[in-house]
C-alpha cells in the first residue's frame, strides 16, 4: 500500500529502473567530492575522516558549562557546541529586567569577556573546533571568543569553528531576532568580511533549516527555505563588495535528521545538488569549495517524547544513522531526556556513545555514499529536488527571502504544516510510540537536571563587579565609536571588538546598535 512522505510526496511500494527513466547519472550524481556533490562533498568521505562528533551543551554559569565541556572532551567529543541562554541570544544582560527568570535556563549566560574567559578556561582553542549557536548577536560572541584566544596566545588564523549567524530563520521560525532584517543582513555581511581578513578558517554562518523543522516544516520546506536564505546572504555579501569565491567556501548549513531515513537521505542529497547549481549558474562561483554544501546535523528534538523517554534513545540512533548515510560533516545526537529537562551528564554521554557506535561498530563508514544507485533514494531525491525548487521559485516571485519574510510567507507555510502534523497525531493517523499507541498506564519516575535558581543573582553580582572595576570613560568612548560605525557604512566588527575589549557587556553593545538600527516587529502571517 502506497503512503506519502513527510513532505507529502508519494512513496511507492516498489521502485525499479522505470522510475529513473531518462535519468542521467553523470549530471545527477557525479563522483563523490565533485560537482554536483550529490554523493558527498569529499572524495573519501568517512573512509578518510569521520564526521565531527559535537554535543550541544551549555547551562547555568560559565563555570558549570566549562565543566560539562571538559567531561565531553574526556569522553571523546571532537568538537564543542555552545548553547547560550535566552537573554544572551536576545542581547540582554543577566541583570536586565527582561531577563528575569531565564538566566542560564536553556543555555549558558555570557554577559562579558569575563564569562567567555571562564567558559573556555583550560580548553586549548588551537586544538578544539567550536560551534556557537548564536544569531542576532553572533558577531559579539565570536569577537569575545577571539579575544579569549588572544589571551591564550592563539593566533586568530588558528581558530576553527562555526558561528550560526543566521538571523533570517529567526524571523521565520525561532524568534530570537533583535534588529530589522536589513541591518541584520549588514551585520552578517560585516562578519563575513571581518573573518576573511582576521579569522580565515572560521565558518562565518550556519544557514539553518533545523529550527524550521522544529517549528513544523516538512523536509522539502526545510531545504527550500534554508537555501533561499542562503541565496539572500550571498546576494548581501556581493552587494557589500565581496567576491563570491572569497566568502562562499566558509558558508555552512545546519539541518535536522528525522526518523524517516529514506526521505532524510534523499533530502541531504537534493540540497547539495541544488546548492551546487545555484552557486555555479546564478553566482558564477568557480572554486569547488564554493559549490560544496557542507552541513552540520542535529537529531530531531521535536520528535523526542516526555512519555517513555528511554524510547528516545532508539529514535536518536535512527536519526543519527540517517544523518551519516546522508553525508553530514558533523553531528549532534540529542539526549534521551531533553523532552523533560536539560540533559544530565549520563544522558549526554549516552548520546555521544550513540555516535561512537555508528562510527566504530557499524559498517556505514566503510564505504562512500552507501545509497548511491538505490532506485528508491534516487527517485525520492529527484522528487524532493523538484518540489524544493518550486517552493524556492515562490520565494523568488515574492522578491526573495527578506521580502517573503516581511510578508509572512515562510512562517505561514510552516505553521500550516505544523497544524497538519498535530491533527494527524491527535487523530492517530501518525503513530508516535508511547504517545498515541503503545502507551503505559503510569510513567516511571525520572529525576531531571535542575538549574540552580541562584544563578541569576550570581550573574548580577558578577556584572556589578565588572562595571565597578572597569574604565567607564573608555567603555563610553568605545560604544560611541560603535554607534558612529553603525550609522555609516564601515565594518562594525572592528569598533565592536574594541568595546568588548574595554569590557562593555553584551547588553550594552546590543543596546548601542538598537539605538541606531531599532528593533524588529513581526508582520501578520501571509
- Residue 98 pLDDT: 97
Residues 233 and 252: their CA atoms lie apart, in Å, by 12
**Closest to 455 measured CA to CA, from 63, 54, 29, 18:** 63
Model confidence at 413, pLDDT cuts 50, 70, 90, reads very high
How many Cα atoms within 13 Å fall on the side-chain side of residue 27?
5
- Residue 1 pLDDT: 57
What the block records as the C-alpha cell of 388 is 524544493
Q: Three-state SS for 231?
A: helix
Question: If residue 418 lies in a helix (H) or strand (E), which one and from where to where?
Answer: helix 409-426
Q: How many helices (H) does the chain have, and how many strands (E)?
A: 21, 11
- What pTM was estimated for this model as a whole? 0.93
What does the pLDDT look like over 40-56, one tens digit per residue? 999 999 999 999 998 88
Taking residues 379-408, report their average pLDDT. 97
What does the pLDDT look like over 436-477, one tens digit per residue? 999 999 888 888 778 888 999 999 999 999 999 999 999 999
Say which range, 74-88, 311-325, 442-456, has the weakest mean pLDDT. 442-456
Q: What percent of the chain has pLDDT over 90?
A: 89
Residues 360 and 366: their CA atoms lie apart, in Å, by 10
- Angle among Cα 133, 138, 141 to the nearest 5 degrees reads 90
Q: What percent of the chain has pLDDT over 70?
A: 99
Q: Give 76's DSSP letter.
A: T
**Closest to 256 measured CA to CA, from 219, 299, 216, 221:** 299
- Residue 55 pLDDT: 84
Domain ranges of the chain: 3-41+52-426
End-to-end Cα separation, the chain, in angstroms? 36
What does the pLDDT look like over 501-520, one tens digit per residue? 999 999 999 999 999 999 99
- Residue 56 pLDDT: 85
Examine the pLDDT at 160 and tell me if it is beyond 80.
Answer: yes
Judge if the upstream peptide bond of residue 36 is cis by omega within 30 degrees of 0: yes
CA distances from 72 to 335, 358, 475 (A): 13, 18, 36
Strand partners, 108: 60, 84
- Residue 23 pLDDT: 76
CA distances from 502 to 113, 140, 155 (A): 9, 13, 20
- Residue 524 pLDDT: 59
Examine the pLDDT at 338 and tell me if it is beyond 70.
Answer: yes
Contact criterion met (CB below 8 Å) for 205 and 192: yes
Classify strands 251-257 and 205-208 as parallel, antiparallel or unpaired.
Answer: parallel
Class of domain 3-41+52-426: alpha beta
CA distances from 286 to 196, 274, 293 (A): 18, 16, 14
Scored b (16 or more CB within 10 A) or e, 484-501 reads ebbeeeebbbebbbbbbb
Average pLDDT, the chain: 95
Residues 227 and 271: their CA atoms lie apart, in Å, by 8
What does the pLDDT look like over 189-236, one tens digit per residue? 999 999 999 999 999 999 999 999 999 999 999 999 999 999 999 999
- Residue 303 pLDDT: 98
- Residue 526 pLDDT: 44
- Residue 22 pLDDT: 77
Contact criterion met (CB below 8 Å) for 292 and 278: no
Taking residues 384-413, report their average pLDDT. 97
- Angle among Cα 500, 147, 456 to the nearest 5 degrees reads 60
Sign of the dihedral defined by the CA atoms of residues 61, 352, 432, 411, in that order = positive
Examine the pLDDT at 300 and tell me if it is beyond 90.
Answer: yes
Amino acid at each position: 500500500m502506497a503512503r506519502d512522505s513527510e513532505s507529502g510526496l508519494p512513496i511507492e511500494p516498489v521502485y525499479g529502473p522505470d522510475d529513473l527513466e531518462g535519468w542521467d547519472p553523470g549530471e545527477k550524481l557525479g563522483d563523490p567530492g565533485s560537482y554536483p556533490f550529490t554523493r558527498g562533498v569529499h572524495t573519501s568521505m568517512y573512509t578518510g575522516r569521520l564526521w565531527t562528533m559535537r554535543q550541544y551543551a551549555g547551562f547555568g554559569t560559565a563555570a558549570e558549562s566549562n565543566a560539562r565541556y571538559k567531561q565531553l572532551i574526556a569522553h571523546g567529543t571532537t568538537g564543542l557546541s555552545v548553547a547560550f541562554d535566552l537573554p544572551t541570544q536576545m542581547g540582554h544582560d543577566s541583570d536586565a529586567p527582561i531577563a528575569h527568570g531565564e538566566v542560564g535556563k536553556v543555555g549558558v549566560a555570557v554577559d562579558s569577556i569575563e564569562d567567555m574567559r571562564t567558559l573556555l578556561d583550560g580548553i586549548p582553542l588551537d586544538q578544539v573546533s567550536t560551534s556557537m549557536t548564536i544569531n542576532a548577536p553572533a558577531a559579539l560572541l565570536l569577537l569575545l571568543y577571539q579575544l579569549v584566544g588572544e589571551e591564550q596566545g592563539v593566533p586568530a588564523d588558528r581558530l576553527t569553528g562555526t558561528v550560526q549567524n543566521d538571523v533570517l530563520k529567526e524571523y521565520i521560525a525561532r524568534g530570537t531576532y533583535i534588529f530589522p532584517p536589513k541591518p541584520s543582513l549588514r551585520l552578517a555581511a560585516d562578519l563575513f568580511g571581518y573573518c576573511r581578513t582576521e579569522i580565515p578558517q572560521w565558518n562565518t554562518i550556519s544557514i539553518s533549516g533545523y529550527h524550521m523543522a522544529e517549528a513544523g516544516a516538512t523536509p522539502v520546506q526545510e531545504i527550500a527555505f534554508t537555501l533561499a536564505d542562503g541565496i539572500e546572504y550571498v546576494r548581501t555579501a556581493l552587494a557589500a563588495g565581496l567576491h563570491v569565491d572569497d566568502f562562499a567556501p566558509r558558508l555552512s548549513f545546519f539541518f535536522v535528521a528525522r526518523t524517516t531515513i529514506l526521505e532524510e537521505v534523499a533530502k541531504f542529497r537534493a540540497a547539495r545538488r541544488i546548492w551546487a547549481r545555484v552557486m555555479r549558474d546564478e553566482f558564477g562561483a568557480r572554486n569547488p569549495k564554493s559549490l560544496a554544501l557542507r552541513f552540520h546535523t542535529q537529531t530531531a528534538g521535536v520528535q523526542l517524547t516526555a512519555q517513555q523517554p528511554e524510547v528516545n534513545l532508539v529514535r536518536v540512533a535512527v536519526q543519527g544513522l540517517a544523518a551519516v548515510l546522508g553525508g553530514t560533516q558533523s553531528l549532534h545526537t540529542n539526549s534521551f531526556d531533553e523532552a523533560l529537562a536539560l540533559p544530565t551528564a549520563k544522558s549526554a554521554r549516552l548520546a555521544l556513545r550513540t555516535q561512537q557506535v555508528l562510527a566504530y561498530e557499524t559498517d556505514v563508514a566503510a564505504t562512500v555514499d552507501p545509497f548511491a544507485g538505490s532506485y528508491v533514494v534516487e527517485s525520492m531525491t529527484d522528487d524532493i529536488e523538484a518540489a524544493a525548487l518550486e517552493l524556492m521559485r515562490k520565494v523568488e516571485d515574492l522578491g526573495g527571502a527578506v521580502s517573503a519574510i516581511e510578508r509572512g510567507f515562510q512562517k505561514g507555510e510552516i505553521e500550516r504544516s505544523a497544524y497538519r502534523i498535530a491533527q494527524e497525531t491527535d487523530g492517530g493517523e501518525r503513530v508516535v510510540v508511547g504517545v498515541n499507541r503503545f502507551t503505559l498506564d503510569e510513567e516511571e519516575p525520572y529525576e531531571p537536571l535542575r538549574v540552580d535558581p541562584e544563578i541569576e543573582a550570581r550573574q548580577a553580582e558578577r556584572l556589578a563587579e565588572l562595571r565597578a572595576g572597569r574604565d567607564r570613560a573608555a567603555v563610553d568612548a568605545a560604544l560611541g565609536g560603535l554607534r558612529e560605525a553603525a550609522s555609516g557604512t564601515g565594518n562594525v566588527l572592528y569598533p565592536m571588538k574594541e568595546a568588548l575589549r574595554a569590557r562593555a557587556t553584551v547588553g550594552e553593545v546590543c543596546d548601542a546598535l538598537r539605538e541606531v538600527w531599532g528593533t524588529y516587529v513581526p508582520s501578520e502571517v501571509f
